[in-house]
Amino acid sequence: MCGIVGYVGPKSTLDVLIGGLRRLEYRGYDSAGVSVISPTGHLETRKKAGKLVNLVAEIEEHPLPAAHIGIGHTRWATHGAPTDGNAHPHLGGQTQKLSLIHNGIIENFAELKAELLAEGTSFASETDSEVAAHLIAREFEKTGDLPSAFASVVVRLHGAFTILVIHEDQPDVVLAARRNAPLVIGLGDGENFLGSDVAAFVEHTKRAISVGQDEIVILRADSVEVRTFDGKTVTHEEFTVDWDASAASKGGWSSFMAKEIADQPQAVADTLMGRLNSDGSVRLAEIDGLSHEDIKNLERIIIVACGTASYAGDIAKYGIEKWSRIPVQVELSHEFRYRDPIINKNTLIVAISQSGETMDTLMAIRYAKELGAKVLAICNTQGATLARESDAVIYTHAGPEVAVASTKALTAQITAGFLLGLFLASIRGAVPAAELQRVGLDLLKMPGRVSHVIEGLKQAERLGAEMANAKSVLFLGRNVGFPVAMEGALKLKELAYIHAEGFAAGELKHGPIALIEEGQPVIVIVPSPRDEDSLHPKVISNIQEIRARGAKVIAIAEEGDNQVSSYAENVIFVPECETLLAPILTVIPLQAFALALSTAKGLDVDQPRNLAKSVTVE
């Protein structure tokens, strides 16, 4: 969590830093701060609790000098409450000439702090980060060599960190270090940038380099040097950022979330692009690293992910198993890592993550790789740690997702999961190619159907707004509709702060039906009436059971389902499609419902309380 940005070059540093922080604010918004070194060589810092607007107001009241070097931070609090004092940057040393920002957690900070306290160092904050500022300043005071002082301290830190430092006595350099937290370099002409992700600098340059694990960056206006923690120079391949700065702006929408819901036809189309032939067969050049032999030998797939990405995995599982006949299990990354799972070289780990920086998922794949498994990532962010550490990557081309609540990343992840299932199936040959191609052809039609759903969202929005006072909303689904129900509930919890649960409809009579009382809103994902497993009548029976006990039912059903209207107060229809592909459509009204309910409650939909977009600590 936390967003960091660094700059050295001829532009107005404050503009670069504030612009970068604005784009990174999704990573945390408990406080924000900047430090710059003025042309006369003075370090100046402004920081403020709360969102970035508070910092901007503070700077208006207490202006900063023009500067050509600086660092900026937006915080998601871990150690210490979100106060002005705990906001970054933190100053180090007796003379307070060093400024430091940090993303992550320094696990051994208590021991390091005790060492500093014993020497008489006084602390201005309750953070773990301030320890690093004092340690680096202390080493620099001894040696006068900032890069080596910096390197000698970062190797002593345990845990996860991206750290950026500037010092009044070396006003032309920004130092950075990375372990278990993201850091990307932006390469400019006579200027260079650092950021938690490319959003920090994409409006200035599209040329970027991902910094590796345990590496230090020495950044000047005209040079960039990357070294390992033990001092060896390293080079990394440059990549070009493939999205435009405007893609990460609201573009006239009331919120990023509203825009990102509307972006979904494009997100799904872009994820399919170049991967589906016109006859419905799939080509996935990205996983050429897995030979046909490897795929034929696969005994098991384990999907690891968190939150919404894990529901994408739950949904993809239905398709992958049905078409490829490879057993799939879906695990929350943080649970998987710590339960001694059974893995061998014939296990494929599929890690799904929008950011590619979710620490729990990174820890899960590192563990699986140690045990000999191959890792395939489904990731939305170029240059992300997950992409770099995986054996192969299927990028979802959803574009930047800024709102904390995941929407277009999810539909793109489901799409990528289905492509993977069809591809593996085509090699395994367990299902006739014609059947796979039929599904592939239907998948090609999904962007158009997603557009159709989005054009008809008014009803879901109205229902959401009408339920602004609901204390609890339940969601029911069966088969692929079950993870959709869980995703609908998650959206409501994180955006509207109300109790919401998603249940498998078949589980109702095993307990959850006791929750139903007069007026209880229940959203039911109704399977297609064309479904060959006759799930439709079973779900209709479930609806009758809960209505008999007072539930107020909203059904999400397929166009042409003539029965459902007799059983539900409200029905939101989505277009017909292959039954397993339906989640790409049925989840969208739930996103709009949660957005409308949260908006009606006057809440911040893009930055819900207590959350951050990327969970980069365990």
Catalytic annotation, residues: 2, 613
Residues that bind ligand M6R (CB under 6 A): 306-309, 353-355, 358, 361, 404-406, 490, 494, 614-615
Minimum Å gap between C-beta 36 and ligand M6R is: 31
Encoded amino acid at 180, one letter: N
Minimum Å gap between C-beta 404 and ligand M6R is: 5
Contact 69, 13 (CB under 8 A): yes
Contact 136, 149 (CB under 8 A): yes
The rounded distance, in Å, linking the Cα atoms of 303 and 285 is 20
Minimum Å gap between C-beta 611 and ligand M6R is: 6
Taking the least distance from each CB to ligand M6R, the nearer of 264 and 361 is: 361
Q: Write the CA distances from 536 to 188, 234, 541, integer angstroms.
A: 58, 59, 9
What is the three-state SS of 14-49? Answer: HHHHHHHHHHHHHHCCCEEEEEEECCCCCEEEEEEE
Q: Write the CA distances from 349 to 59, 330, 394, 455, 585, integer angstroms.
A: 48, 10, 13, 37, 27
Taking the least distance from each CB to ligand M6R, the nearer of 64 and 306 is: 306
* Strand pairing report for 170-179 and 184-187: unpaired
- E strands within 309-357? 328-332, 347-353
Minimum Å gap between C-beta 477 and ligand M6R is: 18
Minimum Å gap between C-beta 354 and ligand M6R is: 3
* 62's tokens: 């207490």
Minimum Å gap between C-beta 196 and ligand M6R is: 13
Taking the least distance from each CB to ligand M6R, the nearer of 379 and 439 is: 379
The rounded distance, in Å, linking the Cα atoms of 249 and 49 is 24
Contact 156, 167 (CB under 8 A): no
Taking the least distance from each CB to ligand M6R, the nearer of 304 and 524 is: 304
Minimum Å gap between C-beta 71 and ligand M6R is: 24
DSSP secondary-structure letter at 581? G
Taking the least distance from each CB to ligand M6R, the nearer of 305 and 446 is: 305
Q: Which of 304, 256, 543 is nearest to 535 (CA)?
A: 543
Q: Which residue is nearest to ligand M6R (CB)?
A: 307
Taking the least distance from each CB to ligand M6R, the nearer of 105 and 615 is: 615
Minimum Å gap between C-beta 618 and ligand M6R is: 12
Q: Which of 147, 37, 106 is nearest to 617 (CA)?
A: 106
Taking the least distance from each CB to ligand M6R, the nearer of 398 and 516 is: 398
Three-state SS at 394: strand
Contact 562, 526 (CB under 8 A): no
* 477's tokens: 């689904």
Three-state SS at 570: strand
Minimum Å gap between C-beta 233 and ligand M6R is: 32
Q: Which of 56, 13, 14, 6 is nearest to 31 (CA)?
A: 56
The rounded distance, in Å, linking the Cα atoms of 167 and 173 is 8
Q: Write the CA distances from 115 to 152, 184, 214, 583, 611, integer angstroms.
A: 15, 32, 24, 55, 33
Element at 333 (helix H, strand E): helix 333-337
Minimum Å gap between C-beta 615 and ligand M6R is: 5
DSSP secondary-structure letter at 362? H
- Exposed e or buried b for every residue in 84-123, given b needs 16+ CB within 10 A? ebbbbbbbbbeeebbbbbbbbbbeebeebbeebeeeebee
Sheet containing 239-240, strands listed edge to edge, beginning at the edge strand earlier in sequence: 43-49, 31-37, 69-75, 3-8, 192-195, 184-187, 207-210, 239-240
Taking the least distance from each CB to ligand M6R, the nearer of 328 and 386 is: 386
